């Protein structure tokens, strides 16, 4: 038979385990409700995102998971897939890296270590 002290200790351990399991379950559901990342970007020259060619100008980039959309005003003008990657240092400014063919390769965001790398 367990002493009163052993029973209290066992109850505390069970309570901690239940709380930890609840916390893990809650943490797994939070990304499902995450808001898309949105940033205004300025293209100083023409560029390609996915299959769309964009003129120089101001656009709104929205990234939801691995899908990026580019808006001009209220119209979506380009869509593409990609992935988030981490870098060793934070970017000092928001920058758009273009390939030799004018295709957007990645977007870096001011003050962040993560970058969005386009698949196309």
> What is the model's pLDDT at position 5?
61
Is residue 47's pLDDT more than 90?
yes
Mark whether 104 and 53 lie in a shared domain.
yes
Of 120 and 119, more confident: 119
Could you tell me the residue range of the domain that residue 76 belongs to?
35-118
pTM for this prediction = 0.70
Mark whether 110 and 98 lie in a shared domain.
yes
Mark whether 62 and 87 lie in a shared domain.
yes
Number of domains, the chain:
2
Mark whether 43 and 101 lie in a shared domain.
yes
Mark whether 60 and 27 lie in a shared domain.
no
Mark whether 26 and 49 lie in a shared domain.
no
- Segment holding 23, helix H or strand E: helix 4-29
Mark whether 42 and 92 lie in a shared domain.
yes
Summarize pLDDT for 8-32 with one digit per residue, the tens: 566 565 566 665 555 655 555 545 4
Collapse the DSSP code of 33 into the 3-class scheme (helix H, G, I; strand E, B; otherwise coil) and give the result. Answer: helix
The token duo for 4 is 């009163």
Mark whether 4 and 40 lie in a shared domain.
no
């Amino acid at each position: 038979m367990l002493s009163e002290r052993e029973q209290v200790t066992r109850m505390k351990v069970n309570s901690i385990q239940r709380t930890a399991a609840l916390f893990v379950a809650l943490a797994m559901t939070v990304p499902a409700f995450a808001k898309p990342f949105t940033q205004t970007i300025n293209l100083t020259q023409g560029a390609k995102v996915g299959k769309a060619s964009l003129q120089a100008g101001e656009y709104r980039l929205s990234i939801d998971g691995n899908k990026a959309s580019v808006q001009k005003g209220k119209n979506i003008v380009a869509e593409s897939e990609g992935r988030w990657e981490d870098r060793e240092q934070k970017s000092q400014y928001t920058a758009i890296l273009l390939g030799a063919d004018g295709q957007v390769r990645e977007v870096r965001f001011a003050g962040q270590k993560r970058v969005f790398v386009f698949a196309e």
